Amino acid sequence: MPKLKSDFLQILTQRGFIHQCSDEAGLDALAAKGDVTAYVGYDCTAPSLHIGHLLSIMMLYWLQRTGAGKPIALMGGGTTRVGDPSGKDETRKILSIEDIEANKEAIKDVFARFLRFGAKINDAIMVDNAEWLAPLNYIDFLRDVGRHVSVNRMLTMESVKLRLDRHQELSFIEFNYMLLQAYDYVELANRYACNLQMGGSDQWGNIVTGIDLGRRMGVKHQLYALTCPLLTTSSGAKMGKTASGAVWLNEAQLSAYDYWQYWRNTEDADVARFLKLFTTLPLDEVAKLAALQGSEISEAKKVLATEATALLHGRAKAEAAAETARKTFEQGALAQSLPTVEIKGSDLDGGLGVLTAFVQAGLVKSNGEARRQIQGGGLRINDVAVADEKAKLSQADLTEGGVIKLSLGRKKHVLLKPV
């Protein structure tokens, strides 16, 4: 394989980001000259992105960091109204325009943690595809765009084929999603001289459809496609999913402490890979951490957790989370910076059932789950195992800090604070 000329593709290759590339030599030459303008699209289906989006965000980060070109974060204000069928077994819920706008505003801030926005030539920009999709006239769109896209080819796309093979319904509105995504690429090529679309490997078909559409609609410059792998953990679990739900990037949905804990609990076999993908540590330092064995691997996990959290939430919050964990798990102390859930003070006056308390704290999803955890010795109050499912919390359970510490297992803790 010829030696890569650009730092951008070298880093992505060395760190394990690349799954497919439409023309590696051509893209490498552009990146070496700093002439890449690349975008990734993010639909606004929730008020926060999750760590499944981090791979593509990091690709935009390295594009800018290496001087290879200009990143574009494309908000899917238009495409979210349709719904991407990729990787889905059923139709996405249709959101109101108001909900989409609220979600879009909520997820914007994350990008400022990874990208430099401004007026310089390679500063990142944020664009919303509703700008060109919302005003489209359907008849004109069919005539000017639809005639260039083959239905035969659309039926071979993995996202469509999977649903049809399973005899699962694929609505007409979803079937049009890839056409809209392809049109996004053409619009960005014409408006911003965009020449690269990046995304997860499940987006490959949609991206190359955009390349073909651009050629057919007269885009003068060459367009490229680059995808990253869809990650699973070494045990086969989907990346970013936990028993309690998705690992969100917005602090409103997941605290910096819980985010730190997610990375701290990484499986041993994934530590080296995740250090390469989700931190900016030099690769020689990653290699030293990856070489740690036995109990020492815990130190590598702490570095991973702190560095990954620092990228998203800032160094101060990352180090505070690490210190909270140290105090909680290594010293057995009650750290006031643990996640806190407020309850009414009157709840304790009348006695708050332990089952209800653990559900309110978000440590379990139901009373039934709390009962099962108690039977297995999994729930603790102020570091004492709960033995009686009918027990009630009262003012007497408050610590000197005026809180009650609830724990699920050894690693999940929440403070109940009466107000």
Return the amino acid letter for 91: T
User: For residues 97 and 78, what is the distance between their CA atoms, to the nearest angstrom?
Assistant: 9
Local structure of residue 195 (DSSP, 8 states): -
Q: How do residues 85-129 score in pLDDT, each as one tens digit?
A: 554 444 557 788 999 999 999 999 999 999 999 999 999 999 999
Catalytic residue among 181, 197, 266, 306: 181
Catalytic residue among 15, 28, 43, 53: 53
User: For residues 71 and 37, what is the distance between their CA atoms, to the nearest angstrom?
Assistant: 6
Q: How do residues 4-37 score in pLDDT, each as one tens digit?
A: 999 999 999 999 999 999 999 999 999 999 999 9
Would residue 53 show up in a list of annotated catalytic residues for this protein? yes
Question: What does residue 93 show for φ and ψ, rounded to 5 degrees?
Answer: -65, 135
For position 243, what pLDDT does the model report? 46
Return the amino acid letter for 248: W
* Residue that wins the pLDDT comparison between 60 and 166: 60
Catalytic residue among 28, 43, 50, 347: 50
Q: How do residues 185-226 score in pLDDT, each as one tens digit?
A: 999 999 999 999 999 998 898 899 999 999 999 999 999 999
Q: How do residues 232-284 score in pLDDT, each as one tens digit?
A: 877 777 776 554 567 899 999 888 998 998 999 888 899 999 999 999 999 99
Q: Which residues pair with 42 in a beta bridge?
A: 75
- Sheet strands (E) in 298-378: 340-343, 352-353
Cα 120 to the center of its chain, rounded Å: 27
Task: Give me the sheet containing 196-200, strands edge to edge.
Answer: 20-21, 224-228, 196-200, 36-43, 69-76, 125-128
Catalytic residue among 65, 92, 108, 161: 92
Catalytic residue among 13, 20, 45, 91: 45
Would residue 242 show up in a list of annotated catalytic residues for this protein? yes
Provide the H-helix boundaries in 115-203. 130-133, 138-144, 151-156, 158-165, 172-175, 177-192
User: For residues 26 and 164, what is the distance between their CA atoms, to the nearest angstrom?
Assistant: 36
Would residue 202 show up in a list of annotated catalytic residues for this protein? yes
For position 151, what pLDDT does the model report? 77
Would residue 365 show up in a list of annotated catalytic residues for this protein? no
CB distance 22 to 81 below 8 Å:
no
Would residue 92 show up in a list of annotated catalytic residues for this protein? yes
Question: CA-CA distances (angstroms) from residue 347 to 161, 256, 342, 389?
Answer: 54, 28, 11, 17
Would residue 405 show up in a list of annotated catalytic residues for this protein? no
User: For residues 50 and 71, what is the distance between their CA atoms, to the nearest angstrom?
Assistant: 20
Would residue 372 show up in a list of annotated catalytic residues for this protein? no
Question: What does residue 14 show for φ and ψ, rounded to 5 degrees?
Answer: -65, -30
Catalytic residue among 5, 65, 88, 273: 88
Catalytic residue among 20, 242, 280, 336: 242
Half-sphere exposure of 412 (CA within 13 A, CB side): 14
Helix/strand/coil for 133: helix
For position 242, what pLDDT does the model report? 54
Would residue 144 show up in a list of annotated catalytic residues for this protein? no
- Closest to 362 measured CA to CA, from 309, 401, 415, 399: 415
Would residue 88 show up in a list of annotated catalytic residues for this protein? yes
Catalytic residue among 143, 191, 221, 238: 238
Catalytic residue among 5, 108, 148, 241: 241
Would residue 241 show up in a list of annotated catalytic residues for this protein? yes
**Token pair listed for 129:** 């595809």
